[in-house]
Amino acid sequence: MIRTHRPRDSESRAARTIRVVDYPARGRRQDRPSLMPPMTLTGVSLNLLLQAIRDQYQLPWWGLHGVTHWARVYENGLRLADETGADRDVLLYFALLHDAKRINEAWDQGHGLRGAEYAATLRGSHFDMAQRPFNLLFEACEHHTDGLLEADPTVQTCWDADRLDLARARILPRPEQLCSEAARKPELIAWATERSLQRWGPAFLDDAWATDGPAAERGESPS
């Protein structure tokens, strides 16, 4: 497989610069209902998986790279999947795990690989996944900060879903840094960017994705 390398991705640039370009109007709620994730995953509670992730997470749960970001990444992926044909289970696990092993909110070298390896430790105990989709999940997590463009459509959709949430770090998603035609659509970029700027928190954060933890950690409220 040939991968196209780009300059260091937006997360690394976010640690060094702020670029605000033509943000859409703020204050308007999303114009589509939230897309609910499954309540259970192959007989394993989604809440138990999320709680395990939260119990080891070293950054603010509601912070820049925390659970509200993951929820938006998941919804971004679902918006893309109808066109890209991405595996929705891989999209969900990617959303939950790609930043789960971060140790800072800026440039965190190797956190993608750490997230992939963490996924491997949870597989079989907290979720079940066949080998091929797990390989895609591992690749998506490991390389999500490498700025690559060429991969399996499911992996590309994971990367696009993450990059579409860049505005929260004051970086506008750029079409040339997105993998799929679906993600490059101006209306999709505008939709995702507005939600990211608002720190939009889907309703399922307080339901299907609910976890236990100090209320004081809610530095980025889902409301």
Judge contact between 6 and 174, C-beta under 8 A: no
DSSP lists the bridge partners of residue 127 as 123
Q: What is the dihedral of CA 201, 204, 210, 215, to 10 degrees?
A: 30
pLDDT in tens, 155-203: 999 999 999 999 999 999 999 999 999 999 999 999 999 999 999 999 8
Contacts of 211 (CB under 8 A, 6+ apart): 47, 50, 51, 54, 61, 67
Domain ranges of the chain: 45-208
pTM comes to 0.80
Single-letter residue type at 135: N
45-208 architecture in CATH?
Orthogonal Bundle (1.10)
Can you tell me the distance from the alpha carbon of 100 to that of 6, in angstroms, rounded to the nearest whole number? 24
pLDDT in tens, 91-143: 999 999 999 999 999 888 999 999 999 999 999 999 999 999 999 999 999 99
